[in-house]
Structure 1
Amino acid sequence: MIQARSFTNKRLNRFLEIMDKGRPIRWDQQNLALVALYERPTLRIADSNYFAARAGLITAREIPNPKLSLNAAYNTTDFIPNPWSIGPTITFLIRNFFATHARVSAAHEKVVAARLAILSTVWVEWDTVYRAYSGLWAALQLRTLANHQALLAQEIYQATLERYRAGAASATALNLAELAMQKAAFAVSTAVLHLRLTRTSLASAVGMPARAIIHVKFDFSTFYRSFRLTNLDSAEHYALAHRPSVLAARAKYYAAQYLLKYEIDRVFPSFKMKPGYTYSQGVTGYAFGANAHLPLFNQNQGPIALAHAQVERADLEVIHSQDHVLSQIDHAKTYLNASLATLRSARREVSFARDQEAAAEQAYDAGLIGALRLLGAEQVAVAAEKNQLTARADERRAVGDLEDALHKSLTGVTP
């Protein structure tokens, strides 16, 4: 069943149509993230944890069922009027109100944390798909440029070979041209390998077998959208306080506090009421009993100490989650600023190389330079485009990292 997964699954397509409000299905970033949520088990695991937490809340709210006890005795010395004595007893547990309230409150906070974990799972899947998807986009662009470079290297080698045969080029020049052609061919092989690996990574990210995405036509228009960095400081502060992972850690902290209160309140006993009925020697009677534990030898200090330690750990986990968010934001901002600077430099390099190429074409048309000089200028321009592609891919990855760190879309595409 896992190997049979594909993008042509009717139930999957129906799910995508519903989520995209009936619009034609495009295999873009948003729909691929939906495929991941549909096919991969991570969201269902988070849902299961949520339903388990809700079950714990139901259990905490339940009133204990009474227990029925039945005692029977047979008198061997007195048979009149009846040797049997029967005494049923019903036991009711009257819980400590404050301990019960604390237990219910702790269970409620665990439900809140489990619900927030679902949101965190959605963002994790979104980021995983984005990384794999952007990698595939860059790999496709890289293969195209590598093929172009290989074609230019082959043309340069042929032109050098002709000049060598005419005695206008040295053997060293021919050897260098052949070496450059071999390097370009190896770069094509490396680009093809990288493309196959990125396809496999994307298949894994969306929960599909590798062969399911070979013939899929992807929509990469998302990577050409501009992004806006407005109110970044306020978004950073909001993420530090309201990201689902931070809120979930805080809910777990509240749950630990309530559990500590529960253990403290358990020092005060719960009571068991035992009304009963007896029938002995033809005489009926009624009985009433009660019992409670007495905190004489211990005052529940062990569980209280454990609950104290859990509160301290939960407090540290809140701080740890905020530290993690802050480090994510700082890394993404640094990465984005550096990639933007690199991209600006790469664009200037491409613009200069294109100007040089245009000048070389004019000189070639005027007969001032030969074909080798023209091909060399084209090679420089393609190399500059490769550098620009690398910078562009870094910029897109940095945008994705910042979106994931802030849990906020910068390009208008949201999970």
Structure 2
Amino acid sequence: MQRLILLLCPLILLGLALNGCAEFQDRPLQPEVSQTRLEARSLTSHELQSFMQSVSGSAVLWPFKRWNIDQLTLAAIYYHPDMALIRAMADTADAAIITAGQRPNPTLNVSPTWISNAVAASQPWIIGSSLSIPIETAGKRDYRIQKAQALSDAAHLRSVDSIWLVRGRIRLAMLEVFAARQSEQLFKQQLDIQLAMTQRLQQQLAAGELSRLDVMRARMASNALQLNVSAAEKRYNESRVLLANAMGVPVSALAAIELDFAALDTPADLTGVPVPVLRDIALKQRADLLAALADYNAAQAALQIEIANQYPNIQANPGYTWDIGAHYWTFAASALQLPVFHQNQGSIAEAEAKRQEMAVRFEALQLRILGDIDRAQAGLSAVNAKWQDAEKQTRLQQDNLQSTQALFQAGETDSLALLGAELEGIVSETARLNVLIETQQALNVLEDTLRYPLASTLTAKSIVDTALWKKPE
């Protein structure tokens, strides 16, 4: 009976250990289900409303009457697949911390032996068992946890940085929609004026006041403007698709909302924005820079692991044997590697070179950020000066139009001259729009490089806090 208990005890312990094991849950991916879910995404859903309320910390008036860049940014953070992917990668890095902290399990060996030719008076059994207990030395487990924690920090920091990338794409896409819509309206105004001028020239041709060549030139100008209108309409439709893709929703989701372009109508006033201070902060605290620093810390922990691997682990092997009534207890240690041929110099050299590589990458990124910020700031200053010139030219054209209207009312000029002045005014507005788009693009570049919301209702903290949010399953 005693022998049976000694034999069953290890098996019972093994069964209890297996009872706590995780079970596999099958989660198949079904393309048709995923397609239906993606096509059903909406900017008026209550799930999106709950997310925006959780981010803002207060109730929001739902649904929004008009969607601005900040609200579209939050919707993109909620829907865009890049955000879901980066969060999943961060979860994977978090799970690696658990793996790094696990201690190696002991191994149990049981070897019952039956003796066929044993003496009749003796018990024909030899029951042997041994327990292998691995013991890590030199703090390897602690270094392993440090490495996994650093990689987890890097993954979470990159999720913060991905938010800025998503916001940048939203702002550029929104700017493209605005530019396409405004261009379409201006081209239509030019076309209307040009058609009126062509009609007036045809009347003069009928009266014999000018040649047919002048009318042909006017018709060709009208045809060219009609092509510009068609191109602008195509650009507008494509820009809405671009905006929908930047948000991670089908383009049909934009049909139920109205876009707010108030932040794009005029260049942002940055006089109160401390750009030099933000520049200094970006060079020290930008999320991608901190992620590179976390990568360096992970490489340093990996070097510590390889240095610790110079020292062998210990394998404790206590055992018990019941041999025909006799009890034998053994205590042994094995797997003691002797550093005869090498002391892990190769792996240490690789880890040290990797750490140096991460240091170079960090400094290169910091230098690139410095150059990007300086270039973006210089570009914004240049286009702001260009904007002042465009505004001055627009005012001159407006003054010229008013003067021509006064002359027309006084009977000192004809309707054709008035239409020409109106056409020049629309052309000036088109040039002004192009400079405005350049200004907004430069502002977008500066915001991207500083990782700070310029001319925005959002704060840097509110954007970063969204990286901590997890979508319910």
When the two structures are superposed, what TM-score results if normalisation uses the length of structure 1? 0.95
2:363 to 304, 315, 319: 319
Q: How does 1:82-101 map to 2 (within 5 A)?
A: 82-101=123-142
1:388 to 432, 440, 449: 432
Letter aligned with residue 162 of structure 2: T
Residues 410 and 49 of structure 1: CA distance in aligned 2, closer, same or farther (over 3 Å): same
C-alpha deviation, 1:215, in angstroms: 4.7
Q: Is the 8 A contact 2:289 2:366 kept in 1?
A: yes
CA distances 1:114-139 after superposition (whole Å, capped 9, x unpaired): 11011011111111111101111111
Q: Distance in 2 between matches of 1:178 and 1:59?
A: 75
Q: Is the 8 A contact 2:320 2:327 kept in 1?
A: yes
Q: Is the 8 A contact 1:329 1:406 kept in 2?
A: yes
Q: Distance in 2 between matches of 1:189 and 1:243?
A: 43
| SS, match of residue 183 in structure 1 | helix
1:364 to 408, 414, 419: 408
Q: Distance in 2 between matches of 1:348 and 1:309?
A: 59
Question: What's the counterpart of residue 379 of structure 1?
Answer: 423
Q: Distance in 2 between matches of 1:259 and 1:27?
A: 48
1:227 to 269, 275, 299: 269
Question: What's the counterpart of residue 131 of structure 1?
Answer: 172
| SS, match of residue 123 in structure 2 | coil
C-alpha deviation, 1:383, in angstroms: 0.5
Q: Is the 8 A contact 2:180 2:239 kept in 1?
A: yes
Runs of 4+ in 1 over 6 A off after TM superposition: none
2:245 to 204, 218, 232: 204
Q: Is the 8 A contact 2:52 2:60 kept in 1?
A: no
| SS, match of residue 327 in structure 1 | helix
Q: How does 1:190-269 map to 2 (within 5 A)?
A: 190-224=231-265, 226-229=268-271, 230-269=273-312
2:327 to 262, 284, 288: 284
Q: Distance in 2 between matches of 1:393 and 1:48?
A: 36
Aligned: 1:161 with 2:197: no
Q: Distance in 2 between matches of 1:243 and 1:218?
A: 30
2:60 to 13, 20, 23: 23
CA distances 1:19-42 after superposition (whole Å, capped 9, x unpaired): 443222242112211221222221
Q: Is the 8 A contact 1:227 1:410 kept in 2?
A: no
Q: Is the 8 A contact 2:138 2:311 kept in 1?
A: no
Q: Is the 8 A contact 1:103 1:259 kept in 2?
A: yes
Residues 104 and 15 of structure 1: CA distance in aligned 2, closer, same or farther (over 3 Å): closer
Gaps of 5+ in 2: 1-35, 464-473
Q: Distance in 2 between matches of 1:61 and 1:143?
A: 61
Q: Is the 8 A contact 2:143 2:301 kept in 1?
A: yes
C-alpha deviation, 1:18, in angstroms: 4.2
Q: Distance in 2 between matches of 1:159 and 1:216?
A: 42
2:114 to 57, 74, 87: 74
C-alpha deviation, 1:224, in angstroms: 4.3
CA RMSD of aligned residues (A): 1.7
C-alpha deviation, 1:250, in angstroms: 0.8
Aligned: 1:298 with 2:317: no
Letter aligned with residue 269 of structure 2: F
Gaps of 5+ in 1: none
2:185 to 144, 149, 155: 144
State percent identity of aligned pairs: 28
Q: Is the 8 A contact 1:260 1:304 kept in 2?
A: yes
Q: Is the 8 A contact 1:27 1:217 kept in 2?
A: yes
Aligned: 1:174 with 2:215: yes
Q: Distance in 2 between matches of 1:22 and 1:144?
A: 37
Question: What's the counterpart of residue 63 of structure 1?
Answer: 103
